[in-house]
Each structure stands twice: as structure tokens, then as C-alpha cells.
Amino acid sequence: MRLMTHNVLQCNKKGVQNGFPLIIKATSMKYEETPFDKSFVSAMIPKIEYHALLKAVSEVQQCPNIAGMDKLGSLPVLPLAMPANPDEDEDFLRRLHTVLFDLSMLEGELVCPESGRVFPVNDGIPNMLLNDDEV
């Protein structure tokens, strides 16, 4: 599960008012470089909840096992606020691309910040299905 995917997921459990952003508890992550496409990353900016992305990056840094990190060295640092003209800042777009598309959560859990409901992530696939009594 890429962080771009995480940025659009939320808990839809009955009674939950604010199930976003889900808390990441990763046990296994993978870094795999993908081709950088400036126009694609720029097109994703309006769809991103930036504060949630910063929180996700912080949570991912706690993962004890990130395969392929030797190729990257360390996770890119994103500014605390979105730049005024992000489309014109190629360095920022490259860092954003790496965080959104090159990092994948393979194993772990996503936790609803309000209810504490745990959604498992296995083989990179988040299981967001709710039980009958939660719908």
C-alpha cells in the first residue's frame, strides 16, 4: 500500500465521525524507485491532504524493516507546509514523488484514530472490510 493510497483511506465504521487519517503501524515496508513524472505528481497535489501525509511519513519512520532503504539512504524530508508554488519546485516534487509512490507498506495495521478499529495490511493490501455489526 503506497502512501498515496493511505492518503485517501478512512474508517467508515458506524458512529465514527472522523476516521481520517488512519494511524500507520507498519512492521514491513519496501522502497522501490519508480519513474518520476513531474506532471503526474503536480496533478496529484490538489488531491493530497498534506498534513495527513506528513503524519504518515512520521509514522512510517518508526518501521523497523524498510527493504531497499540502502538505495535511498533516508526518507526525504518534506517541508511543514506545502510550498507556495509546488509545481515550480522540482526538488519538492521529487521528494513528494518518493514519499507517495516509492514507499509501500507490506505488512502492518491501519488504526482508526477515533474508534481504535484495526484494519490489517497483508502483502501490501489493506483490508478495510467491516463486520456486519459495524455497518
* Letter string b/e over residues 1-39, b meaning 16 or more CB atoms within 10 A of that residue's CB: bebbebbebbbebeebeebebbebebebbbbeeeeeeee
Cα Rg for the chain, rounded, in angstroms?
Answer: 15
Residue 63, number of CB atoms within 10 A of its CB: 19
Per-residue pLDDT for 39 more than 90? yes
- The model's confidence at residue 72, banded by pLDDT at 50, 70 and 90, is confident
Q: Please classify residue 59 by burial: count the beta carbons closer than 10 Å to its beta carbon, then call 0-12 exposed, 13-18 middle and 19+ buried.
A: buried
Cell numbers linked to 42: 503536480
Model confidence at 48: pLDDT above 90: yes
Q: What is the pLDDT of residue 47?
A: 96
pTM over 0.85: yes
